[in-house]
Structure 1
C-alpha cells in the first residue's frame, strides 16, 4: 500500500468521539468548534487571559513595569492559543508601553509593530491609533523626530475621525514637543495652543 493511499484512508477513517461519528477531519473540527465542552474551555481560557491583562494594567499603574510584563506575556500566550485577536493586540500594545517605560524603545517599537496590523485587521480604530501614537512616542524618545511626526500625524487623524478629543489633545501636545526639539518653536506653540483649547473644551487639565 502506498503512503498516499494510506494517508487518504486514514483521513477518511470514521472517528468516534463522545458517542458520535465523523467521516472526515473537517466534520470533527466543526463539531469541536460548536461543542459545549470546547466552548466552555475557550470561555475559561479567555476569562483567565482577561484577568491577567487587567492585573498587568494594575501593576503598570503602580509603576511596576517588569511585573506588568510578566502578566501580559501570559495573557498574550493564552489569547494567541484561543485565537482572540483583540486580546492579542491589546497585550502586545501594553507590552510595548511597558518596555518603553523601561527605556527599551526598540523592543517597544517591535511590539507596537506587531499590534498595529492586528488592530487594523479587526477594525479597531482606537487600538490602531493607540499603537501609532505609541510608535510616535518611541521614535521621539530615540530622537528620530521625523518618524515620530509621521506616526503622530497618522494617530491624530484617527483620533479626530473617531471623536476621541482627549487623545487628540495628547497627540497634538506630543507633536508640539517634537517640533520644539527640532527648533521650530512657532509650529510647536501652535500645536500646544490647539491642544490646550481642546482640553479646556472637554474640561481636563
Structure 2
C-alpha cells in the first residue's frame, strides 16, 4: 500500500500535538483538519469509543479521499460506573451528576474537572482509567483499529499545566504526579494514546514496507 500522507481527524490542539510527536518518524506527511480547505462536521453520537472513532474515520476518508487516523478517547471512573466515558469532552453539560455552567474565563476542560471533583468529593474510591481507541481507515475501505489504557486515580485537586482534558487530576498507577506534570515525551511513553499509537505504528510500518 502506497501512502505518502495521513490525515489526523481532530481539531483538538492537545491531541494534534501528541499525534504529531507520536507519528513523526513514519516518514510520511501528517495533515490535520486545520490543513483542509473544506470542513465537515461529524457528530460523535455513538455509544462506544470505537464506534465514534470508526464513524469519524469513514466520513473523513470518504470526504477528503485520504487515509485517516481518528481517535475517540475518554476517562472512565469506577465509582461513577464508567462515566464520563464517551461524554468526557462535554461532561459538564450532561444531566448525569447535574449540569455545570461554565464560569467567566473558564474553559470546558476546567468545567469538566470541577464537576468530576464535586462528584468525587469525600469519596475513597477514586480509581479511574483513560481509554483510547484509534482507527486507521482509507478511501478504499481498508481499516484497522488499536486500543490503549492507562490506569490510575483521580487527585483531590488539579496540578500541572502541561496536559489537557483531565490530565491535571489524573495520577497514573505507580506515580505521585498528575499527567499534567509530565513532559510530552514522558507522557507518550505511558499514556493510553501512546499505547494505542505504538500498536498502530507497528502495523503501519509493515504496511508501508509491503510486509
TM-score normalized by structure 2?
A: 0.25
Structure 1 or 2, whichever has the larger Rg, is 1
Which structure exhibits the higher relative contact order, with contacts defined as CA atoms closer than 8 Å and separated by 6 or more residues? 2
